[in-house]
Chains A and B, each alone.
Chain A
Amino acid sequence: MDVGEGPSRAHHAPSITRDDRIQIGHTLLIKIPSGDIRSIKLEKDATVNLGKFGSFYANELVGQPFGLTYEIVDKRLKVLPPRPLQEVEDTEATNELINDGQFVQPLTVEEIEALKKSGLHASEIIKKQIEQHANYSLKTEYSKEKYKKRKEMKYSKSFSVIEPTMFNVCEYWFNKDQNRLRDIRPDSLAQMMNLANIRPGGRYIAVDDASGVVVSAILDRLGGQGRLITICDVDSPPAYPVMVQMNFRKEVVTPTMASLNWATADEEYTPIIASTEPPAGKFKSDGQRARLNKRKVASDALMQTREELFSGEFEGLIIASEYDPHSIIEKLYPYLAGSASIVVHSPHVQVVTNLQNQLRDLPGYLGPTVTEGWLRQYQVLPGRTHPMMNGSGSGGFIFHVLKIYDDPTASSVMVHRHRKKAKQSSEAPSAASNGTKEGSVTVTASDLESTPAPASAESSGPTEDVEMRTL
């Protein structure tokens, strides 16, 4: 890229891991007028059925860019131009005289069905409803807008295609069932990726029991370059269902990833592999040759992946698992490089706080932190800007620590100062702050601010700008 000023039309590099256009075989996230999102696989020449919102030919979407909204007309699609936000006029209207009741909107269900059948466009149906609505004119303009929107959600035959970005896919899964994601909310996922320094060309180990949301995010940020070894608790290749909606380009993403389980990841264990040579010394049939060949390829790959793990120097370890994280870290710690990040996510605070206490007295770990993400979305409409009425209670908790190479001969500056003081006068003031200790020396809270904490002890003593200094 040339440095400097001046306009430039850079050549559009095609997306590396994902297609820019909808293809057959993609699993699409379709947003219907009710606000719900459905996951639909696009099959060739098939018809996509959206229930009361209509159905259309799947082929219509092929080659379309992601993100557009379509109207269904006779099973074909018409692009709907996006509507700008309407300014809503302030009037004197209030809800003072409006009574909720049965007869407010007089069109019966049968009448509405008849209108629908007659082919009347949704906007016309809504217009009719408004005409007949007893109190409509009394409503505030905001209330009218809300009413119209609610009716649109019920009657229009349109949908949007949601682009499968990691953010959108994670949000879709989180809203559908956050337990399957172990409470990994889009903001938590993003923080994990940054804390673990996931970059194209990097090498990482992941333990993902959260439906593959972590694996998907790492693969997305590797962009086809680098390496990810995942460790799972089953024999066969793990199912990471979140990857389905990402629509990764298999030829780009598959080479970057390999999996082991807790037995095959054990250096002391020799996996049991059936023989890859024909027992008779000669192949009995082509079928047998093919089978044995396949077996050999698989066992070679397994051996290679094991070697790769045991050679170590991985840059990061990311954990979102139902198993005890301390046991996972213990097993995989030797395969991490110095200065590597260890990131552990849990829906429960106790899991990560216990982990911090387990590691605090061990050498080889630096700067442990536990953080909780807070996220609030706002509706930004002219005259109607406020936080969303429904919020997310929890995105889980993240533990982060760095692996370091300890030097047991190194001693803290404070130890020397205390020894000096002890020699000069009687005992140094010893007030254990919150019951924590630094090695064998007890320090006061003021000392903590200037003491180089040995790898182990990290607890209290926050300074003013805590957020500035903790990750």
Chain B
Amino acid sequence: MWSTAREIAAGDVVIVWMTRDIIQPLVITPGKELNSKYGYYRHDELIGVPYGSKVRSRNGKGFIHLLRPTPELWTLALPHRTQILYLADIAFVTSWLDIRPGSKVIEAGTGSGSFSHSVARTVGPRGHLWSYEFHEVRAEKAREEFTRHGMDGIVTLTHRNVCKQGFTVEDTVDAVFLDLPAPWDAVEHAKKALRKDRATRICCFSPCMEQVLRTVAALNEAGFTNITMYETLLRPHQVDAASPLLPVSAISTKLKHSEARREEKRLRQIANARLGMERRAAKRKAGEGEDAEGAGGEEKEGKRVKTESAQQGREGGGEERPSPEEQAQDEAEALTEIRAASNTQGQDEQSATPEPRKITLSKAFPEVRGHTSYLTFAVLLPLSTATPASQAGGNDGSGAVRTEVRTLTAQIETIRMTC
């Protein structure tokens, strides 16, 4: 399919990995340039670079990775013309249908070729894939891609509506994969294309349960057995390196520190207020006579009482609390103190470790794919051949068994032909 050489050559298809979400194919063409957010590259300078290299931009800013194409990377990089199949479904279908080197497989429809590339890789040069696409433009695009990726020896692409016109091979394939809106219309055609001398398999890929039910009925009617259905999905996990979780003793200490600091501030405020009052009292005493003092004295007393009671209020805690900003500042200061203390401790215990040891935390990504499609599978059993023992057998009554086997076989044939 793609190049197996160690280094990139002119004309190669290469997968350019810029970020996890920006993975694109690139055809290495002498004279051309790749200009992107991640730098500027001349194709000529990429020739001779080993596959798998990180390459820096000409202007020194940015880099990309040049990867060897695989069907899995192709699935992430390919230009979508339709909804495509992803790893979980592709892998499961390939496995259940027993697709392996030498297998002969039918796929309808081709779509954007995601499944096609994987099958071609798995069956290899001794196997074959007949792929059918009813949309002419998409069929052409797929054909171009298959050719460019060296798949012409393995894949035969036909532009055709298989539900109406059937397939182009008979009694040939080991497995059929139908990704169609109405797969039940293609079941009989599939039966014709499947070989009859061994068990063969079929898979119908449909997003809706109603389609599954109709497909199951059609498969049953056509004589398929072992009909079953699966759903398969991948849950990706996000993995982080985090600081070890703080114990509550640290928080307890922090709260105690901040409470102590608040109390300190409060006492300071009381002391300052008292000082201020005493100074003002001294000033007035110096500036006015006894009468003024007498009258003012009551007022001041009143004020003093009020102030004192207000202070008592604060002392008692009551409803009055420090402002949120003050509280936050206290707590932040306290926390820094604690952190500094633990860091010093850490440095005393171990020699110069700049960062505290990280722990691994993981969880499933918050957004995951919930459904792709239902995979309906079935087997088409071969017509049995008489057992060799019965054929060779003598006069021990096995003749009756032999006849029964033949009768049964004939019955099955009749049933099959009328289906």
- Residue numbers of A with Cβ under 8 A of B are 1-10, 12-13, 15-17, 20, 57, 59-68, 73-74, 76-79, 81-82, 84-85, 163, 165-167, 186-187, 189-191, 193-195, 197, 199-201, 220-225, 313, 337-341, 349-350, 353-354, 356-357, 360, 366-380, 382, 385, 397, 402-407, 409-413, 416, 434-436, 449-455, 458-460, 462-471
Judge whether B398 and A339 touch: CB under 8 Å. no
Give the residues in chain B near A166, CB-CB below 8 Å: 95, 98, 100
Checking B216, B240, B405 against A434 with a beta-carbon cut-off of 8 angstroms, the contacting residue is: B240
Query: Is there an interface contact between A194 and B212, defined as CB atoms closer than 8 Å?
Result: no
List the B side residues contacting A222 at CB < 8 Å: 101
User: Could you write out 7 A-B pairs with CB less than 8 Å apart?
Assistant: A10-B104, A12-B172, A223-B102, A225-B101, A376-B230, A404-B52, A452-B19
Distance in angstroms between the alpha carbons of A467 and B412 in the assembled complex: 46
Chain A residues near B217 (CB-CB < 8 A) = 382
Across the interface, do A466 and B18 meet the contact criterion of CB distance under 8 Å?
A: no
Q: Which 6 A-B pairs have the closest CB atoms?
A: A338-B52, A223-B101, A467-B369, A339-B52, A410-B56, A200-B124
Closest A residue to B390 by beta carbon equals: A76
Contact A65 B87 (CB under 8 A): no
The answer on a CB contact under 8 Å between A462 and B238 is: yes
Separation of A59 and B62 alpha carbons in the complex (Å): 69
On whether the beta carbons of A187 and B91 are closer than 8 Å, the reply is: yes
- CB neighbours (8 Å) of B25 from chain A are none
Interface string of B315-351 (1 = CB under 8 A from A): 0000000000000000000000000000000000000
Within 8 A of A (CB), among B100-158: 100-102, 104, 118, 121-122, 124-126, 128, 152-154, 156-158
Q: Which B residues lie within 8 Å of A68 (CB)?
A: 381-382, 384
Across the two chains, which residue of chain A brings its CB closest to B95?
Answer: A190
Q: Compute how far the CA of A142 lies from the CA of B337 in the bound complex, rounded to whole angstroms.
A: 72
Q: Is the CB of B54 within 8 A of A410?
A: yes
Q: What does the 1/0 interface line of B12-52 toward A look like (CB < 8 Å)?
A: 00000111110100000000000001110000000000111
Contact A74 B397 (CB under 8 A): yes
A67 near B379 (CB under 8 angstroms)? yes
Q: How far is the CB of B10 from chain A (nearest CB, A)?
A: 18
Most chain B Cβ neighbours within 10 Å, of A354, A460, A471: A471
Contact A67 B382 (CB under 8 A): yes
B306 to chain A, nearest CB (A): 47
Assess whether B158 is in contact with A4, with CB atoms less than 8 Å apart: yes
Which of A9, A382, A405 is close to B53, meaning CB atoms less than 8 Å apart? A405
A222 and B100 alpha carbons, distance in the complex (Å): 8
Which residues of A are found within 8 Å of B18, using beta-carbon distances? Answer: 452
Q: Are B39 and A65 in contact (CB under 8 A)?
A: no
In the assembled complex, the Cα of A186 lies from the Cα of B91 at a distance in Å of 10
**B161 contacts the other chain (CB 8 A):** no
Tally the A-B contacts, defined by beta carbons under 8 Å: 367
- Size band of the interface chain B makes with A: 35 or more
B residues with a Cβ closer than 8 A to A are 6, 17-21, 23, 37-39, 50-57, 60-65, 67-68, 70-72, 76, 86-88, 90-92, 94-96, 98, 100-102, 104, 118, 121-122, 124-126, 128, 152-154, 156-158, 160, 168-172, 195, 197-199, 209, 212-213, 216-217, 220-221, 223, 225, 227-243, 358, 360-362, 364-369, 374, 376, 379, 381-382, 384-385, 387-390, 397-398, 401, 404-405, 408-409, 411-412, 415
B243 near A435 with CB under 8 A, answer yes
State whether A452 and B63 are in contact (beta carbons under 8 Å apart), knowing that A79-B408, A195-B72, A380-B227 are contacts in the complex.
yes
Please indicate the chain B residues that have their CB under 8 angstroms from the CB of A337 in the complex: 6, 51-52
Chain A proximity of B370: nearest CB distance (Å): 9
Q: Report the separation of the CA atoms of residues A354 and B359 in the bound assembly, to the nearest whole angstrom.
A: 9
B102 touching A373, Cβ below 8 Å: no
CB-CB under 8 A for A1 and B237, given A60-B387, A378-B230, A466-B368: no
Contacts of B86 in A (CB 8 A): 467-468
Contact call A66/B199, Cβ cutoff below 8 A: yes
Taken together as a complex, chains A and B put the C-alpha atoms of A368 and B72 apart, in Å, by 14
B157 / chain A contacts, CB cutoff of 8 Å: 3
How many angstroms from the CA of A417 to the CA of B76 in the assembled complex? Answer: 28
Q: Do A377 and B229 contact each other (CB < 8 Å), given the known contacts A197-B121, A370-B237, A463-B21?
A: yes
A6 touches B168 (CB 8 A): yes
Q: Which residues from chain B contact A64 at a C-beta distance below 8 Å?
A: 384-385, 387
* B21 cross-chain contacts in A, Cβ below 8 A: 449, 463, 469
Known: A353-B362, A410-B55. A225 touches B223 (CB 8 A): no
